Amino acid sequence: MSPILGIWASANQSQYIVTSSYESIATVTVGSGGSSTITFSSIPSTYTHLQIRAITRSTRSAANSNIYLGFNNDTTTGNYYGHYLNGDGSSAGAGAKIGSTTSAIIISAAATSTSSVFTGAVIDILDYANTNKYKTSRSLNGYDTNGDGRIFFMSGLWMNTNAISSIQITDALGSFAQYSSFALYGIKGA
């Protein structure tokens, strides 16, 4: 029997992706007092990758704020590097941050953004338990500004071969506003 090809194969409803590849590890929702740092600790080393799904808003008195990612409480200068691409519908930009104490991973809506606007973000942390390589992360994040939107693709490098057992997410210039939420997932398989 020959394989099913093309459009017919994509319409085959018996070939859906198995969703049990993702397992919830922990979720944090910020309360009324706000929080400057979110920490996930005691992360098991039983997964291939990690993913954080976040909804954020900063209390910073500006249109946006930088959200930074750190691992295992390491704040050694020079251990973190990052790159970003961004666009807002009429212009685009790119840049890098080298040799820092953390890695920028989200540009969050902040206090002067349109009321009740939050940033949506998905962060992947690849091969987090592999002790033979440095760790890389990537995120896709953005928010609406009631007419113009902003989108960011960001990547980070932690120059350390230790397995990641804890993650620190910090609002660099403010605090996470109430209802900001962070969910950590473990990803099985390749």
Q: What pLDDT tens digit does each residue of the chain (190 aa) get?
A: 444 444 444 444 445 455 568 999 999 999 999 999 999 999 999 999 999 999 999 999 988 899 999 999 999 999 999 999 999 888 999 999 888 999 989 999 999 888 889 999 999 999 999 999 999 999 999 998 766 788 999 999 999 999 999 999 999 899 999 999 999 999 997 6
- The closest alpha carbon to 74, from 139, 168, 154, 156, belongs to 168
- Tokens 């910020």 appear where? 30
- pLDDT value of position 9: 43
**Contact 23/185 with Cβ under 8 angstroms?**
yes
Give 65's strand partners. 108
> What residues does each domain of the chain span?
30-134+160-187
Distance CA 94, CA 178 (A): 30
Q: Which fold has domain 30-134+160-187?
A: Jelly Rolls (2.60.120)
pTM of the model: 0.87
**CA–CA gap between residue 80 and residue 123 (Å, rounded):** 16
